Amino acid sequence: MHNPGRTRLPLALVATLLCLMASQATALPMRIAVLEFANASSDKGLQSLGKGLQSMLTTDLSKVRALSLIERGRLQAILAEQKLGASGHVDTKTAARIGKLAGASHLLAGTYTVHGAKMRLDGRLFAVEGGRVLLAEAITGEKDAFFELEKSLVRKLIKTLGVKLKPKERAGISRIHTADFAAFKRFSGGVAHFDAKRYEKALAAMRAAMKIDAEFKLARVTLGQYEQVIARIRAKADSLVAQRLIAIAREKGDAKQPRRLAA
């Protein structure tokens, strides 16, 4: 029986509304976790390059509005909790586990190989749900043109994800961080030192990278971030030392000493 108080929507309008709801659901940012790339070279002096590549890839992908990037610090904490090394040799099961813990929809892992004047990047993009490999790409080129290999991997990854870039986004991911391999190596070493809590060496390495390439914006931004973090760590350490000295003075019954220390 027809209820005159109830308005029925036309089927065409219902279909349109459903399509809009579906498009809004699919428009939600994909959450990408970029793991540190592993060194597949025999030269252990290049061990830190994986951290530099991870930072550059994350920075480039963060310029794409449709993508949301998982922070490096969170990934490091998860890898430590799961007792997983920073290895680019990730299988589908491990990728699904790391991705779910990080709250990611996709995970990028890989390796790099430097042999003489040649360099190769091997990247694999996993769908966290089910652990399927969506992209397995090997990119080879000149070591001194490492930045071209990194940009090529970024573009292939974005294409695989089905993201259509806007002009501003295309310009953003096309900007080269540095075209100097020595600066790239210093930058990567700085990230490695910071992760290992060798703070003075981290700052020195970042400054050295900027000295080699004054236009290395990522190194300058990273240096600023490190300086802020280190300043907070030192301030907290100084506060703890002061509190401990006051406590010791009180234990000794010196009533005047705490006031002098506090001042």
pLDDT, averaged per 10 consecutive residues of the chain (263 residues), comes to 55 55 55 95 92 97 96 89 67 87 95 96 94 94 97 97 96 96 98 96 98 98 96 86 77 59 47
pLDDT value for 95: 86
What is the per-residue pLDDT for 25?
42
- Output the pLDDT for position 22: 46
* pTM of the model as a whole: 0.80
**3-state SS, one letter per residue, for the chain:** CCCCCCCCCCHHHHHHHHHHHHHHHHCCCEEEEECCCEECCCCHHHCCHHHHHHHHHHHHHCCCCCEEECCHHHHHHHHHHCCCCCCCCCCHHHHHHHHHHHCCCEEEEEEEEEECCEEEEEEEEEECCCCEEEEEEEEEEEHHHHHHHHHHHHHHHHHHCCCCCCHHHHHHHHCCCCCCHHHHHHHHHHHHHHHCCCHHHHHHHHHHHHHHCCCCHHHHHHHHHHHHHHHHHHHHHHHHHHHHHHHHHHHCCCCHHHHHHHC
pLDDT at 2: 52
- pLDDT of amino acid 120: 97
pLDDT at residue 87, rounded to an integer: 54
pLDDT at site 61 = 97
